[in-house]
Structure 1
Amino acid sequence: MAKNRNIIIFIGVLTSLTFASFPANVSGEPPLLFTFGDSSYDVGNTKFFSSEYYPAAMWPYGESLDKPSGRWCDGNIVSDFVGRLIGIHEPIPPVLDPKAGLSHGASFAVAGATVLLSQSDTMSFGEQISKFVELRTTWSDKERAEAIYMIYIGADDYLNFTKSHPNANRVEQLAHVAIVLKRLFRGLMILYRLGGARKLAVQNLGPLGCLPIVRQEFATGESCMEMVNFMVTTHNERLSRVLSAMTVAYHSLQYSLFDLNGEITRRINEPTLYGYTDTTTSCCGTGSRNAYGCGYSNVHSNLCSYQKSFLYFDGRHTTEKTNENIANMFYSGDNNVVSPLNIRDLVGKSVTSLPVQEI
């Protein structure tokens, strides 16, 4: 009898663990996933948008997958892993691919994207949202309301400003941050009001001044570039307040804010703790930090022998190992890394205040 009871307890524990591994979506089906941003979230849109040379479609990008996939990485990116965690078995496609099936969502991210007005070879955050609004009837109001909207944007706004205004003073830097945040807020409001977004999953900006390409181009030595990191820190602090204020004004809006900056900084400062041998040099590229030219046919790039020992694959993009680690914390981490909800809890939250329009 006792033996049978132990078997029943074991089966019960096993069952609970099995169900706990799946996201608790209120509809019982995986939510749709939409991503917006720059090259960190680009899954191939650049190939369909720009006629410029596209390094991410060339080896050694995709090295860990045995083929390039249009991602600026040796393998999968953060949104790929999050998609699997919420129950989507196939990677969401680039929305600009005319053959793309959009039944599980889409990526609107394009390399080089900015919050502010874009150049001709990319799509700004606002243009990506406009594309989503244009296509919104592809999905029902309820599907869009329960979908997860992953966003990583703003890096190029600060990197471009730093290159064009290397001697900007604090007043000018703060003014630029204010402009970027104002435009970002406007985009989020359109995504909410016209697009029907109710669940945002936002990564704050990493320590851009510590990127291998920044260290290399600005010859900072062992230090990070303080100017760009100051703007990033200010941006991240204000981004948190913007999202919090939006949920106060619109009770149906919920969000996850992941502290990418803190997690990358910790890995830079304590590489061995996270299994890295190098967190300041790229795996692929050339130059003092191996940070330039990965994927370019006219550049003889170096390639590290073991990508998992590097934090960065190229001059500004993290390795697949790093991306998987970030995605797991984004999905199920505690309030020290993602707040006020992680993505798993965000998926499980019921959506109120339908229909979509609130204006």
Structure 2
Amino acid sequence: MAKQLIPFIISLLLFIFTEVEGAKRSYGVYNSNPVKLFVFGDSYVDTGNFVHSESYKPPSGITFPGNPAGRFCDGRIITDYVASFLKIESPTPYTFRNSSNLHYGINFAYGGTGIFSTSIDGPNATAQIDSFEKLIQQNIYTKHDLESSIALVNAGGNDYTNALKTGRIIDLPGFMESLVKQMSVNLKRIRSLGIKKVAVGLLQPIGCLPVLNVISFRTNCIGLLNVISKDHNKMLLKAVQELNKEAADKSVFITLDLYNSFLSAIETMQKKRAEKSTLMNPLQPCCEGNNLEDSCGSLDDEGSKKYSLCENPKLSFFWDTLHPSQNGWFAVYTILQSTLGQLIT
């Protein structure tokens, strides 16, 4: 009798194993070809490429994962939230491509860079796409991989802030037009390499950045500077619309409205602060250098801190003078979720 049961038991175990493995694959646990995320741009989306920067020095990463992890933030940034929305891990930074899992894509973004060259000696958007193309030529990713992949692109903010700080903007409309034109070229090129869905971030309200709103004593955003963002975004939206008209699939390119998401999140926090004055001013950075020449994470020759840190980063919107905190990014992500849904339809 026992011998007769052995084949039945083996068949039953095989059936259970097959069903369990199938269920795992259906939820992406062991999926051999999950959605892959390829990221291009600046520090808003960089998760670890700028190794010799404050992103790898305390107090970065103080909220998550508890130590510096290559993000210009106290914790997670928008890239992490987009990856989570896609039910995958954040893609590996390009810097670590030879020693890490490339299963979920690659992050080419490099903090401080822009659409064109900036004061940071790092790969601009064009150079990042060059690196992506080389990996495709090396067959690191197949055509099938790319067809089920998504690109996240965010650049332009550093081009403007760098130009404003150095006084290089003589012809603002011409500068803006050249930026948007190059962004359009970049987006079209990413699409031509085989990626079916591309999400591009609109320019954040640069007049709200603490590095610039300091002239209002952090009481409000600088409206005149926000006009630059609005005009840039109008031009970029038109360019994206044209790109979608040219594409066979009319919804290849989608825009992530960082401009209104930032403003909405900041306004919500300001209203809460009006009701409870002990809450943090959302236009105030959590971490800031003690002097103009210092920044978040600066130390003197003896290793003493040359910056101040807020009591609770989880109550801030801005982490430092340029970047949202994890709390800030989560608020922005929450507003953008309905738009992100277009990536998976």
Q: Please say whether Structure 1 and Structure 2 have the same fold, judged by a TM-score greater than 0.5.
A: yes
Q: Is the 2:46–2:71 contact (alpha carbons within 8 Å) kept by the matching residues of 1?
A: yes
Give the match's secondary structure for 1:280.
coil
Tell me: CA distance 1:191–1:146, structure 2 relative to 1, closer, same or farther (3 Å): same
- TM-score with structure 1 setting the length: 0.78
Q: 2 CA distance for matches of 1:155 and 1:33?
A: 22
Deviation at 1:248, TM superposition (A): 0.6
The one of 38, 41, 48 equivalent to 2:45 is 41
Larger RCO (CA under 8 A, 6+ residues apart): 1
Q: Name the % identity.
A: 23
Secondary structure of 1:42's counterpart equals coil
- Distance in 2 (CA, whole Å) between partners of 1:279 and 1:23 is 38
SS in 2 for 1:100: coil
2:56 matched to which residue of 1? 57
Aligned ranges for residues 1-359 of structure 1 at < 5 Å? 30-47=34-51, 53-65=52-64, 66-88=66-88, 90-97=89-96, 98-118=98-118, 121-136=121-136, 137-165=139-167, 172-193=171-192, 195-216=193-214, 219-221=215-217, 222-252=219-249, 254-273=252-271, 277-287=280-290, 293-298=295-300, 299-330=305-336, 332-333=337-338, 342-348=339-345
Shift of 1:178: 0.4
SS of corresponding position for 1:101: coil
Q: Partner of 2:327: helix, strand, or coil? A: helix
Distance in 2 (CA, whole Å) between partners of 1:286 and 1:119 is 20
> How far off is 1:237 after superposition?
0.7
Deviations 1:161-190 (A, max 9, x none): 111227x56xx1111100101111111121
CA deviation after TM superposition for structure 1 residue 207, in Å = 0.8
1:120 offset after TM fit, Å? 6.2
Greater shift, 264-273 or 303-312, is seen at 264-273
**Any unmatched runs of 5+ in structure 2?**
1-25, 274-278
SS at match of 1:36: strand
Which stretch shifts more, 259-268 or 61-70? 259-268
Deviation at residue 329 of structure 1 after TM alignment: 3.4
**Structure 2 SS opposite 1:285:** strand
Return the offset for 1:220. 3.5
* Paired residue total: 304
Distance 1:226 1:161, change over 3 A: farther
Point out the more displaced range, 256-265 or 272-281.
Answer: 272-281
- Give the structure 1 partner of residue 11 of structure 2: none
CA contact (8 A) 1:45 1:108 kept: yes
Aligned AA for 1:235?
Answer: H
Q: 1: distance between equivalents of 2:144 and 2:223? A: 44
Letter in structure 2 aligned against 1:234 = D
1:84 deviation in Å? 1.6
Structure whose alpha-carbon radius of gyration is higher: 2
The answer on whether the counterparts of 2:47 and 2:107 sit within 8 Å (CA) in structure 1 is yes
Root-mean-square deviation (CA, aligned residues, Å) is 2.6
- Scaled by the length of structure 2, what TM-score is found? 0.81
Higher mean C-alpha displacement, 256-265 vs 319-328 = 319-328
* Paired amino acid for 1:82: V
